Each structure stands twice: as structure tokens, then as C-alpha cells.
Structure 1
Amino acid sequence: MELLKTLFDYVDSLTWGWSLVPILVVFGVFITIMSGFVQFEFFGRMFRVLLPKYQNKSPSSLSAREALLVSVGGRVGSGNIAGVAVAITLGGPGAVFWMWCIALVGMATSLVECTLAQLYKRTDGDNSFRGGPAAYIRHGLGQNYNWLAIVYAVCLLAAFGLGFNAFQGNTVAGAVQDSLGISRPITGALLTLITGFVIFGGIKRIAKASDVVVPVMALGYLALALVVILMNVQEIPSLIVSIVSNAFGFEEAVAGGMGAAIAQGLRRGLFSNEAGLGSAPNVAATALVEHPVSQGITQSLSVFIDTILICSCTAFIILLGDVYVPGAAAVDGVVLTQQSLVSHLGQWSSYALTFAILLFAFSSIIYNVYLGESALAAITKSKPALLVLRVIILGIIFLGATAPEATSVFFFSDPVMGILALVNLVAILMLFPTAMRVVNDYRKQLKSGIEKPIFDPAKFSDLDLDHEAWNPERWKNN
């Protein structure tokens, strides 16, 4: 076991330790520039997915909005509450600025990877689809790269399907025990039962659950933060100045100054919004949309919601309060956010935050389960194997909730996620010209006056596409 831990610690240092964050940043900037700042070009169109008139009308398919909510539910987790607090503690207020920057860059990366996921998606039953990096590696790069698709799928299954679900179960049970005094076994059993009910209904039931949970958790947390901001509105200008000043080292809030702010802000932003990590494209591929780019645009909005909105809420709650002291000894992230919220709104708000953490963690669990299923589907189509995986995941969730020390078994999660991200970035880089062909097709239709561009696979006959997935008959009732 010690040998394995040493090996994975080495992998972690090679990926997250020094190489992966700079690569993700450089690659995001490259995509932003080479795509003509596509995330800003289509920024206004991102919000159309929230309007009923822009949804597909097929009851048996996932709409772009449903896929968005599943994705937001996965991206937005306890890290948006605890992780941002840790970033501010270690990097100072300036970390928030760099978190914003990486989100804006990540919006372009997410648009490209999710466009590719849609482009190379495969039909999976009646009006259902499955896809993601494994699919665009296999069908975009060719069968010679099938081994790379398997490496990606194994890493996705290990990190998201298994490891992170144990940690999320632990987060939920710990929060309930600390705030409400309910024992871990009771919480673990209830969480396992609810999760089982959702995941055994497949992606459609996961989407329906997210359709309820995500708006409640996101709007509820935004409302809490908005109250805090309005109570301290006169301090907002000076706070923005402080964030920018700390970001560029004009004011040093913590040891390390500007370097600490950049490192913590970029790392937290990337961990939170997952742009480029290769997880969100699996969900993006499930939606029934007229054009691959339309779902890419939708997933850019997911990054915006996660980091620019939700993470900023946590940052403002902390920085507008009097609990956080720059340069002071590190405090547990959840505790710092909770104490800051209480200082603004009173003790009742700690229970509201606990409820938010529960929703954040649950939405992440059902998202992670689907990613695990997508990974397994890329390895084998065996239905018994899928059933076994679901049972194993439920067992892991219960184990993580009831025996927090058991999460130490999943020490490999972060390192394999690093490998996952590197594999995905290599694939995106190799397929970037293809992605831009599709983006330019979308642009051309918009310029010709077409309000809702429709993808014609005949224009891309040289690509290994699933023509049934892009059958024009699907749009007749839309």
C-alpha cells in the first residue's frame, strides 16, 4: 500500500504539482485567442438555453437546459464553499481575481471540448445519446488511439465514479452530524437510498432530479450572498480595489504575495469549474440539440455559473465579514465560510449553509455516478457490469458516509484526475481544427440570418459521425 501511495503521490506532483495547472491555463488562452474569443462572441446566446422557446420538445430526450443543470450540479460542489475559503486563506483576496480570470478562459475550453462531445456522440437507445472524450478520441482520432480512450475511461471511473463519491458521502454525513446531530450511519443509509432511486432511473431521472435540486441550491445560495452584499453595499468598491491590488501584489495579504494569489486562484478555479478536465463533456453529449456548438455554448454558461457566480458568492461572504483575518492561521474552509455567514446574518444561517452543502454534495454524487457509468460504457457495453457498478458505487457512498477514515483508501483520485485531464487536453489539441470547422459552420449560419443553426453531417462526410444521432427528422417537431 505504501508503495502505491508513493507512486500516486509522484503522479500527483507531476500533474497537479507543477505541470497541469500551467498547461490548462496556457491551453485555455490558446483556445481563446485562436477561436477569436468565442466565449465573448456567444456570451449573449448562453442565456437563451434558459428560455422555453429554445428547448427541444421531445419528451424522451434530454434538453440543453437539462444537460446544463446536470453539469452545473456536478461542477458546483462543496468545493465552492470550502475550496474558495481555502484559496482566500492561502492566497489572500487576490486569489479571487485570478479565479475569475481562469473562469473566463475556461469558458472557451469548455465550449470546445463540449462541442466535440456533441459532434462525436452516439445513439444510446430511443432518443438517448452517450459520448464524451472517450468517444471523440475513438471516433475523432481513430481506432489507433483506442488505447488512449481506455486510459481516459479507467481514470474517469476511478476518480469520479469511485473516489469522489466516497468523499462526497463523507461531506454530507459530516455536515449533518455537526449541525443536526444525526449519526453518520443514518445519514449514510438515507443518502444511499435516495441516490439509488435516482441513478437506477438512468440519465433521464438524474436530469429530473437535477432539474429540482440545482435551481434550489444555486438560487438559494445566491440569495444568501445577495443579502450579504446589499447589507454591505457601501464596501463593495473598496473590496474590488482590494481584490485587484492583492492580485497584482500592490498589497500583500499573505506570505507569497502575488505568487500565492495566482497559484491559489488558478488552482481553485480549475478544480471548481472543471474546464478542460474532460468530465463535463460526458454530460454535454446527452442533450438533443440542433447543432454541436449550441451545447458547447450552454456548457460555457455552466462554467460562468460555477465560478463567476457561485464561487464569487463565497468570496464576498468571507471578505465582507470580520471573521477572515489576512495572514492568520489557516481555518477549515467550511468553518470559515460558515462563521462569516453567521457574522452577517445570525446563527440561523449556519443551518441554511448546511442545507446548501447537502444539496451541493448530492448533486455532485449523482453527476459523478453518471460519469462512472459513461466510463464503463466506453470500456464495455455489458448491462450486468453496469448493475454491478451501481451497487459498488452505492456501497462506496455508504462507506464514505459512515467511516470517514475509509476515504483514505481513495488517495488515487486526484492523481488519476490529473492523468485524465492530460489525456483530454492532448485529444482537444489534436481535434481543435475539427472543432473550429464546426464553430465556423455555426457562425456562417448565424451570419446568413438563421436564428437556430442546424448541423448537417453531410458537410462533414470525412468525419466518423453517427448520422442517426444527427438525423434531421429529430428537428421536425422543434
Structure 2
Amino acid sequence: MAALLDWLNGVIWSPALVFLCLAAGVYFTIVTKFIQIRGIPDMLKQLVRGERSENGVSSFESLMMSLAGRVGVGNIAGVATAIAFGGPGAVFWMWTVALLGSATSFIECTLAQIYKEQDKDTGEYRGGPAYYIEKAYAHTKAAPFMLIYGVVFAVAMILATAYFLPGIQANGVSSAVENAWGISTTITGVTLAVVLAVIVVGGVKRIASFASMVVPFMAAIYIIIAFIILFINYQDIPEVFSLIFTSAFNLNAGFGGMLGVAIMWGVRRGIYSNEAGQGTGPQHAAAAEVSHPAKQGFVQAFAVYVDTLFVCSATAFIIISTDMYRVFEGESEDGAIRYEGQMLPSDTAVGPGFVQEGLDAHFSGFGPSFVALAIMFFAFTTVLAYYYMAETNLTYFNRWIPNSKVRRGIIWVLRVLVVISVVVGATSASGAAWALGDIGVGATAWLNIIGIIILQGPALKAMKDYYEQKKAGKDPQFDPEALGIKNATFWEKRKLQNPELYGNAPVSRPAETAPVQE
């Protein structure tokens, strides 16, 4: 099984995917005229001006739901793994993929808003790659092919978020808890599974509420602790940055010859952490109540910055400034040790242990417990976010199932699968868990990035329309028909039901012919 996973991982995560992710980021940066830079004022503005409705969450709430999925074990164990196998230079390439990925995230999340729908049972907004892949070309001869494409993506996303990815998060929790308190991985796995079951039974609103409370608090505390470490080691800050930059370009003698693996591990862990282009963020973006799709595109573009430039950087600075890491040859712990921190205990495993030892170097006895708690909360909210994404893609299929009892039965099967994945992931070897996660991330990334390259047109039209309306002094309102965008049925109904928002006089209709929300 290990050999099969390694082979499949190698195929999916070939240099071609790394190139595709970077190339897509560069391309979208150019065609959006550096939206990730010039759009920062709009990103911050939308966070405080978010709208809310009975069916949609605010932009800020959507951001918190998205960050629940982005901020997880990848921000702690993933960064440590990238440094261990790619050297300190991998951090620079994580930053690079975040900067480029912000433009990619804008495109995919704007598309999710354009083609979102309302859930027939709950009225909640649903959307994401499966929806926009199917709907964008539904009026053309390519419709059958794009429908199949959307179905394939939905299946891949369900498998990734219901089984592969939750296992990684659970594995990170069990590893950190065992290292901090000596609690067995089995006990941790079962406990996580029970708590998870209680929350997911409560539905999407309970998940969103829990994640919105926990993620901002834990992320802020984690970043503050990192700043304290940096303040204590202030004299080492120039050296830390110098090491990262020189290692990233093969200019450091100690890490010479690692350029290729630094790029590979930086991009791989960067994508896993910030999820730009992976197709997970659009599901949360579609849930927001906004007057124009580009507004949520800005918010989700900012989420990439929060995840990688803030939280991941905090982890990297803790590890490197305290010299609590080791670097291996051959991208494996079985390879020769190329570098090892002088004070790093020899039995410290790659992953959360690097961060725990880094914190412990300054706060004796504090590191293991704090990192274990941080990972517990980060990872648990991430699993909840994964469940939401899996349910959203199941809802994509449920549109074609008329029997409500069958739909509910399918949702229960999903809940059981997620709970099982947590137990299996918590008790598996970390290598197997990461291999499965990489397969899930890589598969959805391939499908989604190719999809948004094909479908970019409507997102670019929406961006241009947003700026034109804003320049005219208006609060942008989205009218797909005016832009020649077809099959954006939610927005077509919105305009029909609220003509006053578009500067038109209300149309009087008989009650029986008035449009009804789905």
C-alpha cells in the first residue's frame, strides 16, 4: 500500500502540477493587473462592510469559515515538513505561491459567487467548482462534457474532504497530543471522532458558528506567541530572512543544490496550506451574501494572505530563529541529515515537534502543551470545514434526487465516513496520512486549475464591471445579462425580484406569477 501511495503521489505531484500552479498564478496576476496588490483596499473594506441574510452569511463569516479550512495542521506540521525536506528556502516559495495564489483565489471565488444556487431544502447558498464548471457552458455544445467534468470534480472533492484530508488533521492532533501529554493516538482519535459526530449532526450552521468563534482567537494567539519569540531573538531576525532568501536561490553554501526540492516542497505545502486553486475556498465563498461576486473574490483573496503570510510565517520564524529543525537529503527521514540544530533533541520527529521544541527553548514546559492545543483547535475546525465542503458537493448531486429521505440518508453516510477517517488518520503513520492528503489536494488542484483557466472569462468581466461601477460612485450590483454572462440564474432572479437595486422601477405582477426562490 505504501508503495502504491508513493507512486500515485509521484504521478499527481509531478513537476507538471508545480509548474501549473505557479504558471496559473502568474497568468491570473497579469490578466487581473495584480489584483492581489491593487485590490488590498477593497479586501479590507469588504471585511467590515459584509452583508448578511437569512440564506447567506456575511463576507466576514464566510472568511472565517474559509480560514477554518485553510488554517490547520498544514500551518504547523506542514511548514516543518517543508523545511525538513526542502530546507529553509522552501519558506520563500510558500510565500511566492501565496502571493500568486491570491490572484488565483480571486478568480475561483468570484466564479463561485456568479454561479451559486440556493439549496432546495434549506435555502442556503451553495456553490463551488462543480457548480461553475457545469453551468458556465451549459448553453453550449460543450455542456455534456462540462457536466461530466463537474461530476468528476465533485466526486474527487467528496473523497478528498470526507476521507483523505481529515486524516491528516487528525494525525497532526494525535502526534502533538502524544508528544505533549503521552496520550495514545487511539484515545485521541476516538475522542476527536465523538466530538466531531456531535457537531456535524447539528448541521452547517453549528459548524460555521463554532469555526467563527475558535479560528480567529487561536490564530491571533499563535501569531502573538511567534512575535514574542521574534522579539526575544530580535538580533537573529536579519539572519533568519537571509537564510530563507539565500537558501531559496541556491546561494547558501549549507543548502546548495536544494533549489529543486525547495521549490517543490514550498509549492506543495503552500498549496496545501492556503488552498489557492485547490477548489476548496470557492465552496465557502458561495455561501456569502454580497451584491456583487467580485466583493467575495476580494475577501477570499485576502484569506490566502492571512493563512500563509501570517500563520505559516509565524511557524517558520519560531522554528528557524530557535534553530530547532533538521534538514534531510533525499526528501525522506531515512536520508542523510544535511543540517541539524545544535540543541534539537535527537528523537524529535519531523512535524509539530519542531515548533514544540522551538517554543520550549524559551518557555520551558510550555511548547508541547501550547502547540498541542493550537493543533487541536486548528485541525478540528479544519475537519469541520472539510465536512462542509463534502456536504456541499453531495448537495450538488442531491439536486437530481427527488426523494428527501434518500438525500438525508446519503448525508448520514457522509457523516459516518468523515468520523471513520478521523480515527484511521489519528492512528496511522504520519507518512501515510500525508501521502493520502497530498493525493487528495493534488487531484482537486489539477481539476480546478484547469477548470478556472477555461472558465476565467466571467470572473474577469465581473472584476471589470465592479471597478467601473465603483468608479461611477455606485455600490456595485451584479447584472449578468448586461455582461453577457449566461446561466447565472441566482443573479437573474435577484434582479427580477429587486429591480430597485439596479435603478429600475418595480414591476407589478399578479401574486401567482411572482418569482419564487428555490
TM over 0.5: yes
Structure 1 residue 55: Cα displacement: 2.2
Aligned alpha-carbon RMSD (Å): 2.6
Is 1:253 aligned with 2:266?
no
Identify the residue that residue 72 of structure 1 maps to in structure 2: 67
1:444-459 matches, cutoff 5 A = 444-450=468-474, 452-459=475-482
Identify the residue that residue 431 of structure 1 maps to in structure 2: 455
Q: Among the aligned pairs, what percent are the same residue?
A: 36
Identify the residue that residue 168 of structure 1 maps to in structure 2: 169
Report SS of the residue matched to 1:418: helix
Identify the residue that residue 221 of structure 2 maps to in structure 1: 220
Structure 1 residue 67: Cα displacement: 1.1
2:383 corresponds to which of 357, 361, 365:
365
* Change in CA separation of 1:167 and 1:248 when aligned onto 2, cut-off 3 Å: closer
1:246-395 matches, cutoff 5 A = 246-324=247-325, 327-328=338-339, 331-381=349-399, 382-395=407-420
* Change in CA separation of 1:338 and 1:290 when aligned onto 2, cut-off 3 Å: same
Segments of structure 1 that go 5 or more residues without pairing to the other structure are none
* Change in CA separation of 1:351 and 1:236 when aligned onto 2, cut-off 3 Å: same
Structure 1 residue 206: Cα displacement: 1.4
Identify the residue that residue 487 of structure 2 maps to in structure 1: 464
Identify the residue that residue 107 of structure 1 maps to in structure 2: 102
1:420 corresponds to which of 419, 430, 444:
444
| In structure 2, distance between residues paired with 1:243 and 1:409 | 28
| In structure 2, distance between residues paired with 1:392 and 1:23 | 31
Instruction: Check conservation: 1:115, 1:435, Cα contact below 8 A.
Output: yes
Instruction: Check conservation: 1:121, 1:129, Cα contact below 8 A.
Output: yes
* Change in CA separation of 1:197 and 1:426 when aligned onto 2, cut-off 3 Å: same
Report SS of the residue matched to 1:328: strand
Identify the residue that residue 20 of structure 1 maps to in structure 2: 17
Amino acid at match of 1:404: S
Report SS of the residue matched to 2:339: coil
Structure 1 residue 216: Cα displacement: 1.6
| In structure 1, distance between residues paired with 2:109 and 2:283 | 8
Is 1:58 aligned with 2:49?
no
Larger radius of gyration: 2
Identify the residue that residue 29 of structure 2 maps to in structure 1: 32
Amino acid at match of 2:137: L
| In structure 1, distance between residues paired with 2:319 and 2:251 | 21
Instruction: Check conservation: 1:218, 1:310, Cα contact below 8 A.
Output: yes
* Change in CA separation of 1:373 and 1:338 when aligned onto 2, cut-off 3 Å: same
* Change in CA separation of 1:303 and 1:476 when aligned onto 2, cut-off 3 Å: farther
- TM-score with structure 2 length normalisation? 0.84
Identify the residue that residue 511 of structure 2 maps to in structure 1: none
| In structure 1, distance between residues paired with 2:481 and 2:34 | 28
Identify the residue that residue 94 of structure 1 maps to in structure 2: 89
Identify the residue that residue 121 of structure 1 maps to in structure 2: 116
Report SS of the residue matched to 2:323: coil
Instruction: Check conservation: 1:159, 1:416, Cα contact below 8 A.
Output: yes
Structure 1 residue 74: Cα displacement: 0.7
Amino acid at match of 2:157: L
- In terms of mean alpha carbon deviation, does 175-184 or 379-388 score higher? 175-184
Report SS of the residue matched to 1:253: helix
What is the count of residue pairs matched by the alignment?
470
Report SS of the residue matched to 2:53: coil
State the 4+ residue runs in structure 1 displaced beyond 6 angstroms.
Answer: 474-477
Structure 1 residue 46: Cα displacement: 1.4
Amino acid at match of 2:417: I
Identify the residue that residue 149 of structure 2 maps to in structure 1: 148
| In structure 2, distance between residues paired with 1:406 and 1:44 | 41
| In structure 2, distance between residues paired with 1:50 and 1:63 | 9
Structure 1 residue 282: Cα displacement: 1.3
Report SS of the residue matched to 1:322: coil
Instruction: Check conservation: 1:91, 1:254, Cα contact below 8 A.
Output: no
Structure 1 residue 175: Cα displacement: 2.5
Instruction: For residues 33-88 of structure 1, give each alpha carbon's deviation from its aligned partner in whole angstroms, at most 9, with x where no partner exists.
Output: 1111111111122123442xx12242553111111111111111112111211222
| In structure 2, distance between residues paired with 1:377 and 1:346 | 49
Structure 1 residue 244: Cα displacement: 1.9
2:45 corresponds to which of 43, 48, 52:
48
* Change in CA separation of 1:252 and 1:76 when aligned onto 2, cut-off 3 Å: farther
| In structure 2, distance between residues paired with 1:87 and 1:76 | 16
* Change in CA separation of 1:104 and 1:290 when aligned onto 2, cut-off 3 Å: same
* Change in CA separation of 1:294 and 1:416 when aligned onto 2, cut-off 3 Å: same
Instruction: Check conservation: 1:100, 1:269, Cα contact below 8 A.
Output: yes
